[in-house]
């Protein structure tokens, strides 16, 4: 007996959380994010039978930001293999903030703790095959097109530019890793690739479908084709549980208990085995950087349908 | 169709891993642990229908060590409630070793990151109700008796004494937390309680049954009585996933993918929803402090029966 | 032409700073310190020709607290030799607070950075010869008697007791070092010795005379007898410059530029080559733990007589 | 009675230490440094009466590397004033290596601990007046010309280029500080300026004369003109004592006891009040990054002439 979400449910949940859109703070570190409307909230659920329901501003698009870390990881694992990737990036959760550099210095040899913190994500993006940023981003977009089954998805050039110009901390992390031979090549090209990756723009149902492919053990929902090898999809979901929600991952695991990855735009993507993909959106963030409304929606969804894996 | 482990399976697995008992290192920090025989390996699986299979040295007893952190957490949560406990101990995984003190200093206000590192475990034990160490240990033993359905379980006095005398690092952690008002009361009494808790002695099937109660959402296997409230059992399993295997928790989640907690004696307890409790034992440890043979057994079990939650 | 301080000078300086006694905060971590009167300010200068001037509450006595770290270091160096002591305690200034434990963990092998931070001071006290706390304290008092040329000096039992009971952080540091074999023996006995050492009680002229012996290359002022070997006295003064004023040592070196050690009671002892010993007192402390009035007095003295060594 | 070094003394010292030129390791992080001849050792002493003696390879030139941190600090202090500079860079010694980034992260607000670690030195160079790297470097060279009384001094373009290309860690530090608003402007321009500053090329007597100006309270030796305000010269010497010899500053203060700053080329500059400037050179470094032969020369000089300020 498979668990299903109905249109009535998502409508009700959106109505419920629309009372809380004034809570939290819209990310302001780049102007393009700051101007997001905090009323633009949405939820989408993509079941493994192909059925998809959505509510809220389902036509609104947003950038995926840190959610792209999961997609880049899947692609890098497919490009280079597990051994290569995990020789350069660790598998352990971190008690530090996602942008922290101190652990890179105290770990000997220097190695980012996992692919979900910024240092690890930069190292992972650096491992995507391609000789130029355009080629790497092109390959990542092609991968996203497959996952979302939509070849129109692009990155937002303005947001990418804006992030590129102000990405001082990521440059600091990248140069530190270059010094310690964790990464090679041009840092500016890496930053170019990384900021475009973060600026990939989707709507709520596209994101839910991407999540559904991970939930479906890497297989395309309609065709059943294996887009991501099963073991690699599983690895991605594991990181979503242990370190997908910044340094609120532990409490999210207790409160909600599903594999999920959030981004600073206010989006969260979830992937639940035998159920489907979930996407929620709400630009206002809590102090940990996770969407306030998104967290509420996921908590309602998980408790109502008993989705917790624990 | 429920997944089941047969006697033939556990026999085969034990035979397979018996070739690897010379790998790893038996814990030598106290004499009582050091004299464990590295050939004493065992596995036990306690299904939710009450069926239990075991192989290897199933009569051998061993101390539960850090596995007790899960049991003490469950009891403290029942004694004090979620809010009280998590006001004093965090919920986030840590990238630091289990005995680390540095994060206590850099976190402001000082608060152990989670109940599975030593600092957090000491704080949790301190929250168990009881006015004396004997009363606290007595209550914990009574709880264990229920979980294992065996009222004969005791702690090993010699091992408790031995650990008590050499627990300098735990004293350091405890005094640091006392300074910062994370814990109150006598440190020596706390250490007395904590070292007895770690020295609770079980055999492989008793441990598997304890794991089974957590797998069974806190309900007794035979009687169905709710020993641990469902939500609290779930919290315990969440910590087992995010920080149950010391600083190999992340790679264990990828490799095996089940809630599990290891101890330095060489025991590991696992709890799998809709399946049952698992206990493995092998005194020789890998460099992270987890049983070498135990990890192999869990990996075989998880892959053969597809138990990964991811 | 030797520089000299006249009675008129010290009277003038005390009058000047008496306007500032309401600034700062009297240490409140033990009741015995908290009840100090913030009006009890004083200065004493003991010239190398034996002349001594003082102003303010010159009869008032106070405990030397962290100033004792210099005295214990001198005695331990005399007892064990440079090589022995510095194999266990480092010589480098630290950018961390005096009570910090994190660096003990990240330094491998664990070793306190210098004898002026609490960890290093505990390790130094542990190296004073003597089989019991009483014997160690007795030897340290005998040493102080020589330095001050006054055999009546004792420790304040009430303050020692009070500090002993609440010294959780120092116990944490001590147990951490015991775990890492930086120190051996009973921690409670070490704390007993250490808290008595900190509670040694002097008046302003006694403290100035102690400082004068260090200024005089370790020789007694009147008799010329070498109480401390010249090289060891010099080592002590070096630590007073690089780490004598907690984590304000660097700015103190710029602002005042003389070897000096402060204590949380509000006392500071200075030692200036070719000049003499200086003691200042004022219970109210700045945010770094140094006497507000004491700092002003030292700054006036240093600038007026051009005492900076830089 | 002023202390003087004779030609015979420096000849004897150079002969003595020439037996030790095979000890230590020539810096190899850039090819231009690696090819230095470890036999090229030298000493120069510039007395305050204008007399200068030298021995060893006195015609050999070398780059000043980290010694430039002192010169840039003096210039930045003259350009911007004490308050401005120390609002952005601290005054306290650090227990961390000179290239460490972790403390920048744990200090709140982020601020380099002192101007002698790389982070602080980069921030200081950023404060030198000038709108382009060429203008800043030009002003610094003009300042060096005055200090050395030699207008021919230039930087070594090859070494500057070489360091510029591989300065990943300094870029990491600089971007980190840019993120935290410790520094502003172009990081590449800052690195351009900084690597040229480090590549300023002198011979031993020129360096000794620079040291002599600091020893002479900032006044030109021959003309008596105040090149650096007295208070600023004193501040520079204070940093030379508390953090001039990397993380061996504390033990150097005990062993030698004079204000000194070392560079990775193998040069050390010392400044002793009422005595003069000292320069020693020897490319082979000890494990802390200080010249092996240079340390021996300074130790002999200090002990023979009793120059220790302690």
Q: Does B102 contact chain C (CB < 8 Å)?
A: yes
Question: In whole angstroms, what is the distance from residue C201 CA to residue C205 CA?
Answer: 12
Phi, psi (degrees; rounded to nearest 5) at D31: -55, -35
List of residues 6+ apart from B255 with CB closer than 8 A: B295, B299
What is the residue whose two structure tokens read 């008590």? B164
Asked if CATH classification 3.40.710.10 holds for the domain at A7-63+202-305, the reply, yes or no, is: yes
- Averaged pLDDT, D235-250: 95
Alpha-carbon C15 to chain mean position: 25
Just give the CATH number of A66-198.
Answer: 1.10.1500.10
Q: Does D176 contact chain A (CB < 8 Å)?
A: yes
Just give the CATH number of B67-198.
Answer: 1.10.1500.10
Catalytic residue among C58, C70, C144, C264: C264
CATH 3.40.710.10 domain extents, chain C:
7-65+201-304
- DSSP letter, residue D67: G
| Secondary structure element (H or E) that encloses residue D78, with its range | helix D68-80
- DSSP letter, residue A200: B
Q: Does C93 contact chain D (CB < 8 Å)?
A: yes
Annotation marks residue C186 as catalytic: no
pLDDT tens-digit readout, C167-222 = 999 999 999 999 999 999 999 999 999 999 999 999 999 999 999 999 999 999 99
Annotation marks residue C69 as catalytic: yes
Contact between residue B285 and residue B34 where contact means Cβ atoms under 8 Å apart = no
Question: Taking the model in full, what pTM does it have?
Answer: 0.95
CATH 3.40.710.10 domain extents, chain B:
7-65+201-305
Inspect the interface and report whether the beta carbons of B95 and A91 lie closer than 8 Å: no
State the virtual CA torsion across D86, D88, D90, D95 in degrees, nearest 10: -160
What is the residue whose two structure tokens read 């003490």? B72
Annotation marks residue C262 as catalytic: no
What is the distance in angstroms between the Cα of C119 and the nearest Cα belonging to chain B?
Answer: 12
Contact between residue B271 and residue B211 where contact means Cβ atoms under 8 Å apart = yes
By C-alpha distance, which of D38, B116, B208 is closest to A95? B116
What is the residue whose two structure tokens read 């393009």? A32
H/E/C letters for each residue in chain C?
A: CCCCCCHHHHHHHHHHHHHHCCCCEECCCCHHHHCCCCCCCEEEEEECCCCEEEEECCCCEEECHHHHHHHHHHHHHHHHCHHHHHHHCCCCCCCCCCCCCHHHHHCCCCCCCCCCCHHHHHHHHHHCCCCCHHHHHHHHHHHHHHHHCCCCCCECHHHHHHHHHHCHHHHHHHHHHHHCCCCCCCHHHHHHHHHHHHCEEEEHHHHHHHHHHHHCCCECCCCCCECCCHHHHHHHHHHHHHHCCHHHHHHHHHHCCCCEEECCCCEEEEEECCCEEEEEECCEECCCCCEHHHHHHHHHHHHHHCCCCC
| Separation in Å, CA C285 to CA A137, C21, C38, C195, C290 | 58, 10, 10, 20, 5
Inspect the interface and report whether the beta carbons of A310 and B309 lie closer than 8 Å: yes
Class of C7-65+201-304 per CATH?
alpha beta
What is the predicted pLDDT for the residue at C153? 98
The overall average pLDDT reported for chain D is 96
What is the predicted pLDDT for the residue at C1? 52
Beta strands in chain D (DSSP E): 25-26, 42-47, 52-56, 61-63, 201-203, 260-262, 267-272, 276-281, 284-285
**SS3 helix, strand, coil % of chain B, rounded to 5?**
50, 15, 35
Asked if CATH classification 3.40.50.2300 holds for the domain at B7-65+201-305, the reply, yes or no, is: no
pLDDT band at D1 (very low <50, low <70, confident <90, very high): low
CATH 3.40.710.10 domain extents, chain D:
7-65+200-305
Inspect the interface and report whether the beta carbons of B250 and A103 lie closer than 8 Å: no
**SS3 helix, strand, coil % of chain A, rounded to 5?**
50, 15, 35
Record the tokens describing residue B153, joined without a space.
């379980």
CATH 1.10.1500.10 domain extents, chain C:
67-198
Contact between residue A26 and residue A266 where contact means Cβ atoms under 8 Å apart = yes
pLDDT tens-digit readout, D84-100 = 999 999 999 987 888 88
What is the predicted pLDDT for the residue at A96? 83
What is the predicted pLDDT for the residue at B294? 98
Positive or negative, the CA dihedral A76, A81, A84, A90 is positive
Class of D7-65+200-305 per CATH?
alpha beta
β-bridge partners, C229: none
Annotation marks residue C66 as catalytic: yes
Annotation marks residue A164 as catalytic: no
Alpha-carbon C3 to chain mean position: 24
CATH 3.40.710.10 domain extents, chain A:
7-63+202-305
Apex CA A87: angle with CA A310 and CA B249, to 5°? 25
Q: Which CATH number fits domain D66-197: 2.170.120.30, 1.10.1500.10, 1.10.3720.10, 3.40.50.2000?
A: 1.10.1500.10
Q: Does C87 contact chain D (CB < 8 Å)?
A: no
Q: Does A110 contact chain B (CB < 8 Å)?
A: no
Mind listing the pLDDT tens digit of every residue in chain A (310 residues)? 579 999 999 999 999 999 999 999 999 888 888 889 999 999 999 999 999 999 999 999 999 999 999 999 999 999 999 999 999 999 999 878 888 888 888 888 889 999 999 999 999 999 999 999 999 999 999 999 999 999 999 999 999 999 999 999 999 999 999 999 999 999 999 999 999 999 999 999 999 999 999 999 999 999 999 999 999 999 999 999 999 999 899 999 999 999 999 999 999 999 999 999 999 999 999 999 999 999 999 999 999 999 999 9
Task: Write out chain A residues lying below 8 Å of B309, CB-based.
Answer: 273, 309-310
Question: In whole angstroms, what is the distance from residue B196 CA to residue B191 CA?
Answer: 8
What is the predicted pLDDT for the residue at B1? 52
What is the predicted pLDDT for the residue at A81? 98
Question: In whole angstroms, what is the distance from residue D102 CA to residue D136 CA?
Answer: 29
């Amino acid at each position: 007996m498979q668990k299903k979400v109905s249109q009535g449910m998502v409508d009700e949940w959106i109505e419920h959380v629309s009372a809380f859109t004034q809570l939290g703070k819209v990310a302001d570190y780049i102007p393009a994010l700051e101007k997001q409307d905090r009323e633009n909230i949405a939820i989408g659920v993509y079941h493994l039978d192909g059925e998809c329901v959505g509510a809220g501003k389902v036509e609104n698009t947003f950038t995926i930001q840190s959610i792209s870390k999961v997609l880049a990881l899947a692609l890098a694992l497919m490009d280079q293999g597990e051994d290569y990737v995990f020789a350069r990036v660790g598998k352990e959760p971190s008690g530090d903030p996602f942008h922290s550099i101190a652990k890179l210095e105290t770990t000997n040899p220097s190695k980012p703790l996992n692919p979900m913190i910024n240092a690890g994500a930069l190292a992972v993006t650096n491992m995507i095959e391609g000789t130029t940023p355009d080629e790497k981003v092109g390959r990542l977009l092609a991968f996203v097109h497959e996952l979302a089954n939509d070849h129109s998805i692009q990155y937002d050039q303005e947001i990418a530019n804006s992030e590129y110009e102000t990405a001082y901390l990521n440059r600091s992390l990248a140069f530190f890793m270059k010094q310690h031979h964790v990464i090679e090549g041009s840092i500016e090209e890496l930053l170019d690739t990384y900021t475009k990756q973060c600026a990939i723009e989707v709507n709520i149902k596209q994101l839910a479908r991407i999540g559904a492919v991970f939930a479906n053990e890497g297989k395309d929902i309609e065709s059943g084709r294996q887009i991501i090898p099963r073991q690699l999809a599983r690895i991605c979901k594991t990181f979503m549980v242990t370190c997908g929600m910044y340094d609120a991952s532990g409490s999210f695991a207790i409160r909600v208990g599903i594999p999920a990855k959030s981004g600073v735009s206010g989006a969260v993507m979830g992937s639940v085995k035998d159920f489907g993909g979930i996407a929620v959106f709400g630009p206002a963030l809590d102090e940990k950087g996770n969407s306030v409304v998104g967290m509420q929606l996921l908590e309602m969804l998980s408790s109502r349908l008993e989705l917790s894996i624990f």
